Amino acid sequence: MVRAAFAWIAMAPRYIFWAARPECRALRGVSKGAACKKYSPRAGKFDILIVQNDIIKNLKLRATMNRNKFYITTPIYYVNSKPHLGTLYSTLLADIFARWNKVMGKNVFFLTGTDEHGQKLQEAAEKAGLPPKQFVDSVVPEFKKTWANYEIEYNKFIRTTDEEHKKAVKCFIEKLQEQGDIYKSSYTGMYCVPCETFVTINTETPKDAAGNHVCPSCQRGLKEVSEESYFFRLSAYQDQLLKFYEENPNFVAPKERLQEVISFVKSGLKDLSISRKNVSWGIPFPGDPAHTVYVWGDALLNYLSAIGYGQNDIKSEENFKFWWPADVQVMAKDIVRFHAVYWPAFLMALNLPQPKKLLVHGFILMGDYKMSKSRGNIIDPDNLANWYGIEQVRYYLARHISVAQDSQFDLKDLENYITADLANGVGNLLSRTLTLALNNNFSVVTAPAALDPSSISVKEKGEEAFRVYWEEMNALHPHIALAELWKFVAHVNAYFHTMQPWVLAKQNRELFEEVIYVACKSMYKIAVLLWPVMPNKMETLLKHLGHDFNVANNYEKEFRDNKVNKTFNLIAVKEPLFVRPESHVDQVKQELALDSSAPAVNAIAPEVKNKQAKPAEVKSCETEIININDFAKVQLLVGTVKTCQPVSGSDKLLKLEVDLGPQGLRQILSGVAQWFKPEDLTGKQGIFVANLAPRKMLGQESQGMMLFAKDEAGNMRMLTVGGFVENGTRVS
């Protein structure tokens, strides 16, 4: 469009005729009638005539705005029950990154919503004695209530029962039908109703105690189905997908998830069923109302329908062209295949750009189990907030949960983070600074003419911390960014304690005022950077410093240009910003009906209970057989040994610093000193167990395991890959 417009400009130096296209009408600076009446001798053939300078200005404005936009999505959640901590985490990540990009001065669109069609919901509605629409209407408000409680500031809440969404799905199916990407056939095989997924049976498909195949995702029983269906020619896009992955190695984060996707695609894609004949609760299939559109041909389209795709009006078309493609799409790892294989193939069929990034996070675990409705070990986010506070929970999830891997949720950990980081860290710094300043008649704090060396050190450490924080947030690593920022919080508290401003107030007024200023300026920057995680608390902190948070302000530019030499008009702290919590672990567990040390085991795996009740006979000559799901829990990653040195007091241990790519540096102890010198391992790539629980040896913590094999001669061999592989790549 831009290229064509400038071609017209070249042909007509003073004026241009521009054809009647919707995108052009949105750019023009004059109304259609006025433009035609004033300028156009060929109004019947062309829409408008626009002054050359105006169109150049409008085109540049549009291009600038588009570069400055940020579109982020969550999965749409299945409404078979209330939201839990896992769905909250996905949504919280999206909210944090949406807010972060507002801090960066961008135009932001944040989408979330609900998936409301399918066999599982139809059956749930029947059990409840309600029509399906009435049933889903009763559950959707629970999601909206929880998101409101947790200050989730989305721009749109899409429902797959919305008319605009149905219209978009119809447009999508019809386009694929026209170009031959859809055909009618029949399907016979196994189907998982809870996951709404057809399951291909092979040697790796897990079985239950009775020997029956179960769903690889949820471990529940499968149902044999044989029915007519419409299929999308997914197999036709296999080579195109592999080429896309090769050209876009950062499409999925973390990278190990992309390797899993590539392996799946290389194993051979089968065409995808996108309709169900025996399920009435869904969007009627265009041209064949006996069928309804099957889950992924329906649900995935929400990312397009929410911003105007398929609505056939000028405003919607312009909105869609402005926001698409999505910048980040957030999801848990159990749905990455649908988003990294089916979704890109759909977009290729539509000739639309791909999302820029899929952010795939791990599971939140209770004990050894994924938090899930089926296991009965879920946590109600609203009850949790009642005990500990909304923004305290937001902070804990963002700070403690590693985006790249599964993470344990622990109530005692939550209490410790609130006490150490929030109450003793930021809250205590604010209270001490303001109380001391106001008690010494210092309420208007201005920048000093020069800084003491200790104050300069705070400034320099702050600049480095803010730089790393910025990088890690832009890299979608909030847990790493927050860990870095808290090093600076600790440094400012240490500076305050070392400088003893309560003594300086009596002995050196000038230096006293400087210390107060440095503390205030540090807190100002900390509050701005923490606003995406704890918006209300940080706005309160800023008010105590005499400032309001202004989302329209470009804080990124302010920080970059180092223009934070503010005047701080201090307001007394009447209530603590964060209160140290009493331990509520036992009460909370009782209320939430959970026990993190003994996760619920239900009828899905009754054999586990029976085996635990009667200890098995140990046979030293046999190796215990594990199923594929047990093996899948082991996270084997490729890493590079950055440094290696002996461990003092041991002739067996070597201490390795290992680069695991997106998961950062790890300290790993390995008992191979009798076979390897430190220089033998330094710089070498190996294979590491990355999700092994940390353990201490000789006072040193080991955060994983390096893999070796011993040959027949008793020599130890380091396990590695055939050639160089990116650090952090998963071995599968």
pLDDT in tens, 36-53: 333 333 333 333 334 344
Full set of structural domains in the chain with CATH: 2-66 (no CATH), 69-170+295-370 (3.40.50.620), 179-248+255-293 (2.170.220.10), 383-569 (1.10.730.10), 634-718 (2.40.50.140)
For the ranges 302-306, 415-419, 499-503, 632-636, the lowest mean pLDDT is seen at 632-636
Q: What is the mean pLDDT of residues 647-675?
A: 86
Looking at residue 92, its pLDDT comes to: 98
User: pTM of the full predicted structure?
Assistant: 0.73
CB proximity list for 95: less than 8 A, separation 6 or greater: 110, 150, 151, 152, 153, 154, 532
327 pLDDT more than 90: yes
Looking at residue 693, its pLDDT comes to: 81
CA pair distance 466, 33, nearest whole angstrom: 52
- Helix locations, 223-254, DSSP H: 238-247
35 pLDDT more than 90: no
Q: Please give the biggest Cα pair distance in the chain.
A: 95
Q: E strands along 282-439, which residues?
A: 284-285, 288-293, 328-332, 358-361, 364-366, 369-370, 407-408
Q: At 659, is the secondary structure helix, strand, or coil?
A: strand
Top-confidence residue, 265 or 58 = 265
Q: What is the mean pLDDT of residues 498-516?
A: 97
Using alpha carbons, select from 70, 63, 55 the residue that is nearest to residue 10.
Answer: 55
Confidence of residue 608 (pLDDT cuts 50, 70, 90): very low
Handedness of CA 696, 702, 704, 709 (dihedral sign): negative
Confidence of residue 28 (pLDDT cuts 50, 70, 90): very low
Looking at residue 492, its pLDDT comes to: 97
Looking at residue 624, its pLDDT comes to: 54
Looking at residue 562, its pLDDT comes to: 73
Confidence of residue 59 (pLDDT cuts 50, 70, 90): very low
What average pLDDT does the structure give for the chain? 84
Top-confidence residue, 666 or 8 = 666
Looking at residue 710, its pLDDT comes to: 79
Percent of the chain beyond pLDDT 90? 57
CB-based burial label for 382 (10 Å; 0-12, 13-18, 19+): middle
CA pair distance 593, 125, nearest whole angstrom: 26
Q: Classify 34 in phi/psi space as left (phi over 0), alpha (psi -120 to 50) or beta.
A: alpha
Spell out the SS3 assignment of 476-521: CCHHHHHHHHHHHHHHHHHHHHHHCHHHHHHHCHHHHHHHHHHHHH
Q: How far is CA 15 from CA 35, 39, 40, 407, in A?
A: 12, 9, 10, 62
Looking at residue 366, its pLDDT comes to: 75
10 pLDDT more than 80: no
Helix or strand run (H / E) with residue 695: strand 695-697
Spell out the SS3 assignment of 604-648: CCHHHHHHHHCCCCCCCCCCCCCCHHHHHCCCEEEEEEEEEEECC
Top-confidence residue, 272 or 596 = 272
Confidence of residue 70 (pLDDT cuts 50, 70, 90): very high
For the ranges 241-245, 521-525, 549-553, 588-592, the lowest mean pLDDT is seen at 588-592
Query: Which of the residue ranges 118-122, 187-191, 722-726 has the most confident prediction, judged by mean pLDDT?
Result: 118-122
Q: At 100, is the secondary structure helix, strand, or coil?
A: helix
Q: E strands along 413-494, which residues?
A: 444-445
77 pLDDT more than 80: yes
Q: What is the mean pLDDT of residues 674-688?
A: 88
CB proximity list for 257: less than 8 A, separation 6 or greater: 333, 336, 340, 358, 360, 730
Spell out the SS3 assignment of 662-691: HHCEEEEEECCCCCCCHHHHCCCEEEEECC
510 pLDDT more than 60: yes
Using alpha carbons, select from 228, 152, 220, 150 the residue that is nearest to residue 192.
Answer: 220
Backbone Cα Rg of the chain: 29
For the ranges 59-68, 214-223, 473-482, 563-572, the lowest mean pLDDT is seen at 59-68
Confidence of residue 723 (pLDDT cuts 50, 70, 90): low
700: DSSP letter = E
Range 201-212 burial, b when 16+ CB lie within 10 A, else e: eeeeeeeeeeee
Looking at residue 605, its pLDDT comes to: 27
**Is 133:163 a contact under the CB 8 Å cutoff?**
no
pLDDT in tens, 176-206: 999 999 999 998 878 887 777 778 787 678 8
Tokens representing residue 658 in the block: 């290992």
Looking at residue 614, its pLDDT comes to: 34
Looking at residue 6, its pLDDT comes to: 42
Looking at residue 131, its pLDDT comes to: 94
265 pLDDT more than 60: yes
Q: Which amino acid is at 414?
A: L
pLDDT in tens, 200-215: 787 678 888 778 888 8
Range 632-658 burial, b when 16+ CB lie within 10 A, else e: eeebbbbbbbeebeebeeeeebbbbeb
CA pair distance 618, 609, nearest whole angstrom: 18
Looking at residue 427, its pLDDT comes to: 96
Using alpha carbons, select from 639, 643, 723, 681 the residue that is nearest to residue 255.
Answer: 639
Helix or strand run (H / E) with residue 701: strand 700-702
462 pLDDT more than 90: yes
Confidence of residue 617 (pLDDT cuts 50, 70, 90): very low
Looking at residue 572, its pLDDT comes to: 95
Q: Note the Cα 441 to chain centre separation in Å.
A: 46
For the ranges 414-418, 450-454, 500-504, 723-727, the lowest mean pLDDT is seen at 723-727
Tokens representing residue 44 in the block: 């019947």
CA pair distance 524, 554, nearest whole angstrom: 15
pLDDT in tens, 349-404: 999 999 999 999 999 987 666 666 555 567 889 989 999 999 999 999 999 998 98
CA pair distance 286, 284, nearest whole angstrom: 6
CA pair distance 196, 80, nearest whole angstrom: 13
Output the DSSP codes for 528-557: HHHTTTSHHHHHHHHHHTT----TTS-HHH
Q: How far is CA 353 from CA 3, 60, 119, in A?
A: 18, 21, 31
